[in-house]
């Protein structure tokens, strides 16, 4: 136990070490975290308050929205738009970026979020989460789309909250990764997992095997070798996990290593990839790299991608350094580039 360091104390102590840090970022982070506590309360009460099931509507992704997709989106927007710290927001659930209403002061940050990640799991009571990414914005201007389309390497902060057996916050501001557990009795996140690091080696992969026939050959090769186990090329057995909640698969990898793949597949040529760059891949890539792991499309570092849209999708390979490097090598050697 880390003698009960609250998130508030942790952020203020970090702020004191960063001479350029102003209090506004600390306040913004507290607003984001307050929204996540409200979401945790809704998620944990579930059908007691009638929030499960579908909303009979579709989002910009053409996906049927769960009631909680909409509820959590509204909680995030209403917890942040009045604070005076934001120039704008973007959400998985909203087509265009979200401007700050004219009656509120604007600030210098942008927050992009997936308000409920893994929502296909909410009705079967498996872990879901909220993922957020913070960028700086030009000041005293109405933000334009281009202000949001920044490379992941420009993020000032990234985090996620996983609503599981414990409600946990995982956060990076570019100075390592720290995990906090929500103490429901006092409503505070407490530092329980300081300086999280991902083992460079692993024997555990995460992929949705039902898409195998649609993968490119480098991914086919890598997974086939894992499945051959110690009699095959790798000389060791592998285990498999697939939660279908990005936050849960990433949290597992942060705690015990592993490699996660949601690769390109040719099921639907209009949607060759599944995960969204701006509010899923980029924040998780920042966290994974800060914890000593790697995050790639298979061909390029996720954090180096210049976005061309708020809802752009990318293939994702992330986790233990040595496995991600092997998978990237399979992609590049197939293209004759390694
Ligand atoms: P979301 O619920 O925000 O749409 O995200 C779901 C994502 C991600 O959390 C998960 O890794 C992936 O979709 C699971 O995809 P499959 O259902 O195709 O396995
Ligand atoms: Mn998601
Ligand atoms: Mn979502």
| Whether this model's pTM surpasses 0.85 | yes
Phi, psi of 93 (to 5 degrees): -90, -5
- Whole-number Å distance, alpha carbon 277 to ligand 2 midpoint, is 10
Integer Cα distance of 307 and 290 in angstroms: 21
**Model pLDDT, residue 290:** 98
Q: Tell me, yes or no, whether 2 lies in a domain.
A: no
What residues pair up with 6 in beta bridges, in sequence order? 190
Q: Tell me, yes or no, whether 59 lies in a domain.
A: yes
- Whole-number Å distance, alpha carbon 248 to ligand 3 midpoint, is 13
Q: Tell me, yes or no, whether 199 lies in a domain.
A: no
Q: Tell me, yes or no, whether 1 lies in a domain.
A: no
The number of C-alpha atoms within 13 Å of 199 and in the hemisphere containing its C-beta is: 11
> Same domain for 148 and 123?
yes
Boundary of a domain, candidates 170, 193, 216: 193
Contact 315, 285 (CB under 8 A): no
**Model pLDDT, residue 59:** 85
Count of domains observed in the chain: 2
Boundary of a domain, candidates 167, 193, 219: 193
> Same domain for 258 and 327?
yes
Instruction: For ligand 1, pick from 116, 118, 133 the residue to mutate: most ligand atoms within 8 Å of CB.
Output: 118
Atom of ligand 1 nearest to the CA of 244: 14
Contact 155, 134 (CB under 8 A): yes
Which ligand places an atom closest to the C-alpha of 119?
1
Q: Tell me, yes or no, whether 144 lies in a domain.
A: yes
Residue 128: give its domain's CATH number: 3.30.540.10
Q: Is the CB of 60 under 6 A from ligand 1?
A: no
Integer Cα distance of 88 and 142 in angstroms: 9
Q: Tell me, yes or no, whether 61 lies in a domain.
A: yes
Q: Tell me, yes or no, whether 36 lies in a domain.
A: yes
Q: Tell me, yes or no, whether 198 lies in a domain.
A: no
> Same domain for 183 and 214?
no
Which residue has its alpha carbon closest to ligand 1 atom 8? 246
The per-residue pLDDT string of the chain (338 residues; one tens digit each, 9 = 90 and over) reads 457 899 999 988 888 777 666 688 889 999 999 999 999 999 999 999 999 999 988 888 788 899 999 999 999 999 999 999 999 999 999 999 999 999 999 999 999 999 999 999 999 999 999 999 999 998 877 899 999 999 999 999 999 999 999 999 999 999 999 999 999 999 999 999 999 999 999 999 999 999 999 999 999 999 999 999 999 999 999 999 999 999 999 999 999 999 999 999 888 888 889 999 999 999 999 999 999 999 999 999 999 999 999 999 999 999 999 999 999 999 999 877 76
Angle CA 188–154–331, to nearest 5: 105
> Same domain for 49 and 138?
yes
Atom of ligand 1 nearest to the CA of 247: 9
> Same domain for 125 and 63?
yes
> Same domain for 233 and 186?
no
> Same domain for 32 and 144?
yes
The one-character DSSP state at 325 is: H
C-alpha pair distances (Å), 102 with each of 82, 88, 128, 147: 10, 11, 33, 19
> Same domain for 184 and 209?
no
**Model pLDDT, residue 1:** 45
> Same domain for 188 and 212?
no
What residues pair up with 259 in beta bridges, in sequence order? 205, 319
Range of the domain at 122: 7-193
C-alpha pair distances (Å), 252 with each of 5, 16, 241, 285: 23, 31, 9, 15
> Same domain for 171 and 243?
no
**Model pLDDT, residue 12:** 87
Boundary of a domain, candidates 134, 162, 193: 193
Contact 100, 72 (CB under 8 A): no
Residue 311: give its domain's CATH number: 3.40.190.80
> Same domain for 71 and 177?
yes
**Model pLDDT, residue 206:** 98
> Same domain for 272 and 325?
yes
Which residue has its alpha carbon closest to ligand 1 atom 3? 117
Q: Is the CB of 192 under 6 A from ligand 1?
A: no
- Whole-number Å distance, alpha carbon 245 to ligand 1 midpoint, is 6
In sequence order, what are the residues at sequence separation of 6 or more whose Cβ sits closer than 8 angstroms to the Cβ of residue 138? 87, 147
């Amino acid at each position: 136990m880390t003698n009960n360091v609250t998130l508030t104390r942790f952020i203020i102590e970090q702020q004191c070490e960063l001479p350029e840090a102003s209090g506004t970022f600390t306040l913004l982070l507290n607003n984001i975290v307050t929204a996540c506590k409200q979401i945790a309360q809704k998620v944990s009460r579930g059908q007691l308050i009638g929030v499960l099931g579908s909303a009979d509507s579709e989002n910009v992704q053409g996906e049927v929205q769960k009631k909680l997709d909409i509820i959590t989106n509204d909680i995030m927007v209403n917890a942040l738009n009045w604070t005076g710290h934001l120039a704008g927001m973007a959400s998985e659930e909203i087509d265009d970026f979200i401007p700050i209403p004219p009656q509120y002061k604007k600030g210098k940050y942008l927050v992009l979020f997936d308000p409920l990640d893994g929502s296909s799991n909410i009705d079967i009571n498996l872990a879901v989460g909220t993922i957020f990414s913070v960028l700086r914005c030009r000041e005293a201007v109405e933000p334009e789309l281009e202000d949001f389309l920044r490379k992941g390497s420009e993020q000032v902060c990234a985090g996620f909250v996983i609503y599981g057996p414990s409600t946990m916050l995982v956060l990076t501001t570019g100075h390592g990764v720290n995990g906090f557990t929500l103490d429901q009795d006092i409503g505070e996140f407490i530092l329980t997992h300081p300086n999280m690091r991902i083992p460079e080696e692993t024997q555990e992969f995460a992929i949705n095997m039902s898409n195998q026939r649609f993968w490119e050959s480098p991914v086919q090769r890598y997974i086939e070798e894992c499945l051959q186990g110690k009699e095959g090329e790798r000389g060791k057995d592998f285990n498999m996990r697939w939660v279908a909640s990005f936050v849960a698969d990433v949290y597992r990898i942060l705690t015990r290593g592993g490699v996660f793949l949601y690769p390109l597949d040719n099921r639907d040529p209009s949607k060759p990839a599944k995960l969204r760059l701006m509010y899923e891949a980029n924040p998780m890539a920042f966290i994974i790299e800060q914890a000593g792991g790697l995050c790639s499309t298979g061909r390029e570092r996720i954090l180096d991608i210049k976005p061309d849209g708020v809802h752009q999708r990318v293939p994702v390979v992330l986790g233990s350094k040595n496995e991600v490097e092997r998978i990237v090598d399979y992609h590049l050697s197939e293209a004759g580039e390694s």
